Chain A
Amino acid sequence: MAPPANRRPTYSRRAQYGTFIRYVVAFAGLFAGVLLLIVSLGDGASFAGMRGAASDVVAPAGQVSAKSRAETRGLLATIGGFFTYGSRVARMEQELDAARVALAEAEALRRENAQLKDLVKLSQVDPRALVVTRLIGSTGSSTRRFATLGAGAQQGVRPGMPVRSPAGLVGRVLETAQSSARVLLITDSESIVPVRRARDGVAATAIGKGDGTIQLKLIAQGINPLKPGDAIVTSGSGGLFWPDTAFAVVASLTPDGAIARPLSDPGSTNYVEVQPVWIETAIPGAIPAEPAPSGGK
């Protein structure tokens, strides 16, 4: 149906101007959106203050929802546990016997390792968790992959710090507010992490694909040595991320590398820890072997 020729609802001038001004404001809003976009595309951190304040305000609600996420998962696991109790006890007893043997061997290896380290005067610094907290939200409806952390500048969280869960690397802190922080997840298409194969150290860079998987690009060109199932850990080169943090498992191969699945599923982790930045604290004054990974503003 064609719109009526006369769009004036009434003879009142006031009402007619009101309708007109509403449309003027609507199109002004459209152009305001364009302007805001130009500013924020020019400098991604330009509205960080506003975003941070907003996420600080809603952080308590996020904490509650994060807690309920953990409890729901726990409840389902408990119910499931009743049905598989007997077989699991039997299996665990077997595993316990095997583990006792492995533990004894590991103890011997540890001693030997310490002796060898003393020999070459190598000091290993383990990353100490700066803050242990929860992920209280994520941008599930955007193609960008950010999560919100339940700790911020007050707890000592600074931009650039790596975030990991017990299962592996989760991402790094992008911007901080007073009591919350925004984390760039490793699956975001702007996240670049230097990694290597755990077994032999084949170096690669890991770039998120935005859909929950990670693209591994080998640094050395040539025959692709990766195999599905290979474990990938961070290499620590370039600083920022601590070396040997569990990262991903190769799922399928591509001509220049592989597609990998991240080991840490941020949705199923209860707590994450924020670590200090690798170079600054571990080897004071060390010069990075290669420029720091770009990405993120």
Chain B
Amino acid sequence: MPLTLPAALRELGKRRINRVPSPVLAWSVPWLLVMIGSLSPLLPLIASAPVVPPMGFLFLIAWLQLRPGLFPVWAGLPLGLFDDLFSGQPFGSAVLIWSIAVIVVDFVETRFPWRGFAQDWLLAAAAFAGCLLGGLVLANMAGGSSGVLTIVPQLIVSIFAYPLAARLVGALDRFRLIPIREL
């Protein structure tokens, strides 16, 4: 089922002649969505076990695969820095893991430019496994001592949440490219 935009928003983009997308909107929406995802520790849910998928990372991977080249290859640095402020992981872990992820996705993109959604999903699943495992190792280095099994439920939730995140990213991609600025 394709997501349809609300009527008011559809009207917004109806008049296309002599109009272009707003550069502010087109540029800021992807960054804002990833940062809002990083704020997931503020969700009305106090978890006593790690069950919430890393939302910021989820959105980042979805944007990278939907629009290759939209995020610069250094995007892991600022976005990871913001995520570290709230995630509870040792400071710098998201900077490291997200930087690696963006570089790896960029590498895969040059090697396999044409992928279906199944391959996207597979790559995303590998990225989540790497992210959660790396986060676990770094958290344990900082004084924790959780077993590998702790992250298994979270990994499963993350993998199944990816198609939803990709849907949301797709809808917001259409939203950010609505031609609303008059030339």
Contact B150 A190 (CB under 8 A): no
Interface string of B92-115 (1 = CB under 8 A from A): 111111011011001000111110
Partner of A144, one of B39, B54, B144: B144
Question: By the criterion of a CB under 8 Å from any partner CB, how many residues of chain B are at the interface?
Answer: 63
Q: Which residues of A contact B106 (CB under 8 A)?
A: 26
Contact B41 A138 (CB under 8 A): yes
Taking the closest CB of chain A, its distance from the CB of B84, in whole angstroms, is 8
A143 and B177 CA atoms in complex are apart in Å by: 37
Contact A32 B95 (CB under 8 A): yes
A139 and B42 CA atoms in complex are apart in Å by: 8
A210 and B144 CA atoms in complex are apart in Å by: 8
Q: Which residues of A contact B154 (CB under 8 A)?
A: 141
Q: Which residues of B contact A36 (CB under 8 A)?
A: 84, 91-92, 95-96
Most B Cβ at <10 Å: residue of A27, A39, A146, A189: A189
Q: Which of B53-82 contact A (CB under 8 A)?
A: 53-55, 72-74, 76-77, 80
Contact B139 A140 (CB under 8 A): no
A210 and B138 CA atoms in complex are apart in Å by: 14
Interface-forming stretch among A47-55, A94-102, A281-289? A47-55
Contact A266 B144 (CB under 8 A): no
Partner of B96, one of A33, A142, A266: A33
Answer whether residue A116 sits at the interface, using C-beta atoms and an 8 A cutoff: no
Given contacts A1-B113, A65-B43, A266-B46, contact A25 B74 (CB under 8 A): yes
Contact B74 A22 (CB under 8 A): yes
Residue of B with least CB distance to A207: B145
Q: Which of A62-108 contact B (CB under 8 A)?
A: 62, 65-66, 68-69, 72
Taking the closest CB of chain B, its distance from the CB of A8, in whole angstroms, is 13
Question: By the criterion of a CB under 8 Å from any partner CB, how many residues of chain A are at the interface?
Answer: 69
Residue of B with least CB distance to A268: B46
Answer whether residue B1 sits at the interface, using C-beta atoms and an 8 A cutoff: no
Contact B41 A140 (CB under 8 A): yes
Contact A141 B150 (CB under 8 A): no
A58 and B91 CA atoms in complex are apart in Å by: 18
Shortest Cβ-Cβ A-B pairs, 6 listed: A36-B92, A139-B88, A33-B96, A29-B77, A140-B52, A210-B146
Could you list which residues of chain B lie within 8 angstroms of chain A, going by C-beta atoms?
39-55, 72-74, 76-77, 80, 84-97, 99-100, 102-103, 106, 110-114, 135-136, 138-147, 149-151, 154
Given contacts A22-B73, A44-B90, 12 further A-B contacts (CB under 8 A): A7-B110, A29-B80, A36-B91, A39-B91, A47-B84, A139-B88, A143-B135, A143-B140, A144-B142, A190-B144, A265-B48, A266-B46
